[in-house]
Amino acid sequence: MSNRFYSTALRKWRMTKVTQQKIQTFINTCLRRIFKIRWTDKICNEKLWQRAGQEPVNSQILRRKWGWIGHTLRKPTSSITRQALTWNPQGKGKRGRPRNSWRRDTEAELKRQGNSWAEAERTAQNRVRWRNVVNGQCSAGSKGPK
């Protein structure tokens, strides 16, 4: 699987469990073909990932997503990317419950960790600390940095 695909698309998409499962299934199928593992051979996914030197796709997505967020939060406030990250559209929306957006999902991940957007902005200014937080959280299988 190409790193370019991960680095451009996956960190900006609003990921659902179904999408993650489909991507992981595709990657597992490709790895089984590369290693010539037949369907009759019983090998669990963890052993397959270990043999390939990979981690599950949801960890990769979270790591890249939060890495990109930290990169963007370190930019000056006049940067278009930073403005787009914090942009809040004005006006009336459609009737009913608002649709989940990338921003709402990201804020929900922060809230589950007991953090706010302001805390994330402060932590992101220290690149080494942000990287350690992201690596620790994403490898533990949780949903974003503390």
Over 60: is that where the pLDDT of 1 sits? no
Q: State how many domains the chain has.
A: 1
Structural domain span for residue 67: 1-79+99-146
Mean pLDDT of all residues in 35-55: 92
Measured CA to CA, the distance from residue 46 to residue 30 in angstroms comes to 15
Over 90: is that where the pLDDT of 8 sits? no
- Please report, rounded to a whole number, the percentage of residues in the chain having pLDDT higher than 90: 43
Mean pLDDT of all residues in 101-116: 86
Residue 107 domain-assigned (yes or no): yes
Mean pLDDT of all residues in 112-116: 85
Question: How many Cα neighbours within 13 Å face the side chain of 142?
Answer: 16
Residue 88 domain-assigned (yes or no): no
Confidence grade of residue 7 (pLDDT, cut at 50, 70, 90):
low
Residue 40 domain-assigned (yes or no): yes
- Between vectors from CA 132 to CA 16 and to CA 64, what angle results, nearest 5°? 30
Residue 86 domain-assigned (yes or no): no
Q: What is the pLDDT at residue 10? A: 54
Residue 92 domain-assigned (yes or no): no
